[in-house]
């Protein structure tokens, strides 16, 4: 049997703060096959980045993984020592962020940054070999004139080019898993489409397992095979993209879909979901979405729904579907 590049099982993550314990992620499970892309979708503050950072082993110091497992190519990365983790981070799993400028040291050229990553992560020492690998990474992401980019400083590149360079850095070590955390959110629409195309292309060519994080269901529809909808740190729905988009089960997913502007219909004003995320330090009993749910029932206010498989591969956590 093939080992999956990424399996996340019952992941629960808390942040410790002076104001209390933030229950950022609760019992989240999903997996990604080779060449597959899974989107984590939810409003800002729902715990998407926390999951992404946990996968690449880069959570901030005040975060605690309370329970769960993260298997990268069958290895539980949460059980590894710092030294063993260092070998996996940036090598078997990589991440790109919303703001590519923030991930580049402004004092080094793109070529120096790329060469450094390849040198340490792949243990390549030969200068010519390093340069060759760095240039081929820049070529792979469709950057014109790789030689010039190689010698450029981050500030000399446009946002779109810099995001391509960040993808080159992330993929230069040939990881099997790439986490892309809102990688197009800061780009204008045309560039967004180009970066999405590039990621699709690379995913297919390299057989990457892609975890794509977005607050935008429209973007998710364009790029992923499976969608995991998360609300206040909990998974509310998980399934194949067509299923989730055409027959959404959870009231939250339905509301999110209504918020996606459609070019065909002229909407007078953008829809939004009334209310806001609950305080993650004092979660209400029952279903976390109940206070905002238009289909709320009595049971929702006291009993937390379990996630159940309603159709093959399509799961939902909602009392409307519990048996």
Ligand X SMILES: Nc1ncnc2c1ncn2[C@@H]1O[C@H](COP(=O)(O)OP(=O)(O)O)[C@@H](O)[C@H]1O
Residue 40 near residue 52, CB atoms below 8 Å: yes
Coil, strand or helix at 154? helix
CA distance 216 to 259: 9
Residue nearer to Mg ion on the CB measure, 55 or 149: 55
Both tokens of residue 8?
């996340």
Closer CB to Mg ion, 181 or 243, in the complex? 181
The tally of CA atoms less than 13 A away on the side-chain side of residue 98 is 9
Residue 90 · residue 117 · CB < 8 Å: yes
Shortest Å distance, C-beta 254 to ligand X: 20
Q: Which stretch binds ligand X (CB under 6 A): 16-24, 160-168, 216-224, 293-301?
A: 16-24
Integer Cα distance of 253 and 169 in angstroms: 34
Q: Does 44 bind ligand X (CB under 6 A)?
A: yes
Interface with ligand X (CB under 6 A), residue from 47, 154, 160, 175 = 47
Pick from 21, 31, 45, 245: which binds ligand X (CB under 6 A)?
A: 45
What is the nearest approach in angstroms of ligand X to the Cβ of residue 282?
Answer: 12
49-78 binders of Mg ion (CB under 5 A) = 49
Close Cβ partners of 242 (under 8 Å, ≥ 6 residues apart): none
Q: Is 15 in the site for ligand X (CB under 6 A)?
A: yes
Can residue 302 be called a binding residue for ligand X (CB under 6 A)?
Answer: no
* Residue 152 interacting with Mg ion (CB under 5 A): no
Q: Residue 43: helix, strand or coil by DSSP?
A: coil
Helix, coil or strand: residue 93: strand
Q: Which is nearer to Mg ion, 110 or 219 (CB)?
A: 219
Per CB under 6 A, 280 contacts ligand X: yes
From the list 29-37, 46-54, 111-119, 254-262, the region that binds ligand X by CB under 6 A is 46-54
If one asks whether residue 173 binds Mg ion (CB under 5 A), the answer comes out as no
Q: How far apart are CA 163 and CA 171, in angstroms?
A: 12
Q: Which residues contact 243 (CB under 8 A, 6 or more apart)?
A: 311, 313, 314
Phi, psi of 40 (to 5 degrees): -95, 120
Q: At closest approach, how far in Å is the CB of 80 from Mg ion?
A: 25
Please identify, using beta-carbon distances, which residue of 35 and 45 lies nearer to ligand X: 45
CB 96 within 8 A of CB 185: no
Q: Is 186 in the site for ligand X (CB under 6 A)?
A: no
Nearer to ligand X, 58 or 260 (CB): 58
Q: Which does 288 bind (CB under 5 to 8 A by kind): ligand X, Mg ion, none?
A: none
- Distance (Å, rounded) from C-alpha 69 to C-alpha 66? 10
C-alpha to C-alpha distance for 121 and 131, rounded to whole angstroms:
15
Closest distance to ligand X from the beta carbon of 29 (Å): 17
Binders of ligand X among 135-154, rule CB under 6 A? none
Residues forming contacts to Mg ion in the complex (CB under 5 A) are 49
Q: Which residues bind ligand X (CB under 6 A)?
A: 15, 17, 22, 24, 42, 44-50, 60, 62, 280
């Amino acid at each position: 049997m093939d080992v999956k590049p990424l399996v996340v099982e019952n992941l629960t993550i808390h942040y410790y703060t002076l104001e209390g314990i933030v229950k950022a992620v609760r019992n989240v499970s999903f997996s990604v096959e080779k060449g597959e892309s899974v989107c984590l979708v939810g409003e800002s503050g729902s715990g998407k980045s926390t999951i992404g950072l946990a996968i690449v082993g880069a959570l901030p110091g005040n975060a605690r993984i309370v329970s769960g497992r993260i298997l990268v190519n069958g290895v539980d990365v949460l059980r590894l020592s710092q030294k063993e983790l260092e070998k996996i981070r940036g090598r078997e799993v990589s991440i790109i962020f919303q703001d590519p400028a923030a991930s580049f040291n402004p004092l080094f050229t793109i070529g120096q940054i790329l060469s450094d990553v390849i040198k340490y992560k792949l243990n390549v020492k030969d200068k010519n070999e390093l340069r060759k690998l760095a240039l081929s990474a820049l070529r792979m992401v469709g950057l014109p004139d790789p030689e010039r980019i190689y010698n450029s400083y981050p500030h000399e590149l446009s946002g779109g080019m810099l995001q391509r360079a960040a993808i080159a850095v992330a993929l230069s070590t040939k990881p099997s898993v790439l986490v892309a955390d809102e990688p197009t959110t800061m780009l204008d629409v045309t560039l967004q489409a180009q970066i999405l195309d590039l990621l699709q292309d690379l995913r297919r060519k390299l057989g990457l397992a892609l975890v794509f994080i977005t607050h935008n269901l429209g973007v998710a529809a364009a790029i992923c095979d499976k969608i995991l909808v998360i609300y206040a740190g909990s998974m509310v729905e998980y399934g194949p993209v067509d299923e989730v988009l055409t027959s959404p089960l959870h009231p939250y997913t339905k509301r999110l879909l209504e918020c996606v502007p459609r070019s065909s219909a002229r909407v007078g004003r953008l829809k939004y979901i009334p209310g806001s995320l609950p305080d993650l330090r004092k979660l209400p009993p029952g279903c976390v979405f109940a206070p905002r749910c238009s289909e709320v029932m009595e049971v929702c206010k006291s009993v937390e729904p379990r996630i159940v498989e309603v159709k093959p591969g399509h799961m939902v956590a909602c009392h409307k579907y519990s048996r």
